[in-house]
A and B are shown apart, each in its own frame.
Chain A
Amino acid sequence: DAGITQSPRHKVTETGTPVTLRCHQTENHRYMYWYRQDPGHGLRLIHYSYGVKDTDKGEVSDGYSVSRSKTEDFLLTLESATSSQTSVYFCAISELGLRTEAFFGQGTRLTVV
C-alpha cells in the first residue's frame, strides 16, 4: 500500500467552526490532491499541489484552503464549516507525469452539524 495517512479518520464538528484535515505521505511524490466524495457526484477535486508551497484550485474549491509547507504534508482547511461540507474527503498522491497513477489515502469522514 502507498504510504498515505489521513487524520483524523472521523470528525464531527459544528457549523461555523474551522476544521483542518491532514494528509501525510512517505512516498516523496510531487503531486498531492484533495477530493471529496458525495453520493451522485462521485469524486470531485477540491485543491491540489504540485510542489512545496505550490497549490491550485480544483472544481469545488469554494470554502476550502490548503497549505503545503513540506513535501510530505498537505493540509486542507475548512475556514468556517457548513453542512454542505459534510462529506468523505480523500487525499491522493502521484508522481510527476501524465502516465503516473494516483494512490488514495483511507479517507476522512467529516460531519458538520
Chain B
Amino acid sequence: QKEVEQNSGPLSVPEGAIASLNCTYSDRGSQSFFWYRQYSGKSPELIMSIYSNGDKEDGRFTAQLNKASQYVSLLIRDSQPSDSATYLCAVAWRGTASKLTFGTGTRLQVTL
C-alpha cells in the first residue's frame, strides 16, 4: 500500500458546484496534512494545512481530517474554471524532519 493515495481523476465538476477531493494515508503516528494546487507547468502552491481532526475552512476551501479512518479531503465550494488544476495531498510524519510525502495528485476540471 502506498503511503499517500489519491484518485488520479480527472474529476469533472460544473462551474458553481462543489468539488470533493480525497486522500488516504498509511498510519504512522502523528501527522500533519497539506493540500497543494499545481497548475500545468507550474510549481506546487500551498492552499491548506490541517493538523487535527475535524474541518478547517479558508474562503471557498474546506479541509477535512479523519484520523481514525485515515483520510483527508478537500472541498472546493462554488468551483470556478480557474480551479482547474492538479491537487496534491501531502503528509508529514513526526520524526521525519518535516519531509513531505505526496500523493500522485487528482486532476480537477471545472466545466462551464
Contacts and interface: CB of A to CB of B under 8 A. Distances in A.
The answer to whether A and B belong to the same complex is yes
Given A43-B88, A98-B94, A99-B32, A48 B104 contact: no
Contacts of A98: 30, 32, 92, 94, 98
Interface string B45-81: 1100101000000000000000000000000000000
Contacts of A94: 98
Given A48-B97, A98-B94, A101-B49, A43 B102 contact: yes
Interface of B: 30, 32, 34, 42-46, 49, 51, 88, 90, 92, 94, 97-105
* 8 interchain residue pairs of minimum CB distance: A42-B104, A43-B102, A104-B43, A42-B102, A104-B44, A101-B46, A107-B43, A94-B98
B104 A103 contact: no
A90 B43 contact: yes
B35 to A, nearest CB: 11
Say which size band chain A's interface belongs to: 20 to 34
Interface of A: 31, 33, 35, 40-45, 48, 50, 56, 58, 90, 92, 94, 96-107
A61 to B, nearest CB: 12
Contacts of B46: 101-103
Contacts of A42: 88, 102-105
Given A33-B99, A48-B99, A50-B97, A40 B104 contact: yes
Nearest to A105: B43
B108 to A, nearest CB: 16
A100 B49 CA distance: 9
A33 B30 CA distance: 21
A103 B92 CA distance: 14
Contact of A100 (B44, B98, B101): B98
Contact of A102 (B94, B100, B103, B105): B100
